Amino acid sequence: MKIAFIGGGNMAAALISGLAGKLTAGANIHVVDPNPAALEKLSAQFGVTTSGALPGAQQAPDPAAYQTVASADVIVLAVKPQSMREVAEQLRPLLPAAGGEGGGPLLLSIAAGIRAADLSRWLGGGRAIVRCMPNTPALIGMGVTGLAASAGVSAEQKAAADAIMKAVGATVWLDDEAKIDAVTAVSGSGPAYVFYFIEAMQKAAEELGLSAEQGKALALATFTGAAQLAAQSDEPVSLLRERVTSKGGTTYAALTSMAADGVAEAIGRAMAAAAARGREMGVEFGAAD
Ligand SMILES: NC(=O)C1=CN([C@@H]2O[C@H](COP(=O)(O)OP(=O)(O)OC[C@H]3O[C@@H](n4cnc5c(N)ncnc54)[C@H](OP(=O)(O)O)[C@@H]3O)[C@@H](O)[C@H]2O)C=CC1
Ligand SMILES: O=C(O)[C@@H]1CCC=N1
């Protein structure tokens, strides 16, 4: 499988780390990105081929990019949402004719917000597009990706999208593209919430007299252990929480304090804000002319 990545930033690097040498040889992966240092790193680490710009970009196009991108089975669009239109319009003349279901390359967009219909229009129409929302634990093969296929994606192409994302973790298919905004709020942005919570626990551990190292070791092992316990248990998470909470004890004191501060409601509001921002970006960066 020949895969071209347009954009070689954080999320692309996380995906490539799971794919190269596993699902396909590094040499079958091509990365287009304007940053030479990022390309050198990806090439040295994973043996991918690289180029600096698509034809039509402000930089001089690399002829190698034309060939490689034009012949890719799968093109992963991994640029920021605000760059997607420009990139799609640069890509458009490189792509073979769309030609009905399963025709032309499969386009995997990992951008938050950008709607498949907008992307398809920028790419000339009739494209096989799967919207994906991965997350950065893909870097260690522990990602989770929500996927939604638009009309025109063949069963084979769906299987290819699933295989690519399964190379870096679990996959969850959605029947409706609009649900990608919810996935973004839960698992796409989710690692940042977990890191935020860990950082807060580390800080509090130090305030309680532990060293930074001790706080980090305790907080990380607690997160890993609790998440694994919940994943391996058949019981609801609420029951696992209750088992930690001895009557009148320390956990009860902590959870009562969190409830008084409205932590659960604050998490709900934060995730609603993430989903709303996804919808807003779809309009902001995808509005029709
Ligand atoms: N980070 C995450 O956890 C997740 C991100 N995503 C999505 O992934 C996408 C990328 O995010 P992320 O990796 O964090 O962002 P990055 O900024 O790290 O990566 C984007 C890369 O694309 C490059 N780029 C810009 N213009 C072009 C172009 N014309 N051709 C080729 N490459 C170009 C950028 O270069 P330069 O910096 O010079 O502009 C940059 O290196 C976004 O759409 C985001 O919504 C999805 C799930 C999770
Ligand atoms: O913050 C963002 O917009 C991207 C999408 C999900 C994670 N990072």
What is the ipTM, given to two decimal places?
0.98
Handedness of CA 7, 11, 17, 21 (dihedral sign): negative
Q: Identify the three-state secondary structure at position 8.
A: coil
Q: Which of 83, 122, 180 to mutate to test the pocket of ligand 1 (most atoms within 8 A of CB)?
A: 83
Question: How far apart are alpha carbons 190 and 238 in whole angstroms?
Answer: 20
Å from CA of 110 to ligand 1 middle: 9
Distance from the Cα of residue 61 to its chain's centroid: 28
First-to-last alpha carbon distance for the chain, in angstroms, is: 35
CB-based contacts of 171: which residues, under 8 Å, 6+ apart?
144, 145, 146, 147, 162, 165
Q: Which atom of ligand 2 is nearest to the CA of 188?
A: 6
pTM: 0.94
Q: Which domains does the chain have, with CATH numbers?
A: 3-178 (3.40.50.720), 190-278 (1.10.3730.10)
Beta-strand pair 29-32/143-149: unpaired
Q: What is the pLDDT along the chain (289 residues), one digit of tens a residue?
A: 999 999 999 999 999 999 998 888 999 999 999 999 999 999 999 999 999 877 665 566 566 677 788 889 999 999 999 999 999 999 998 887 776 666 789 999 999 999 999 999 999 998 999 999 999 999 999 999 999 999 989 999 999 999 999 999 999 999 999 999 999 999 999 999 999 999 999 999 999 999 999 999 999 999 999 999 999 999 999 999 999 999 999 999 999 999 999 999 999 999 999 999 999 999 999 976 6
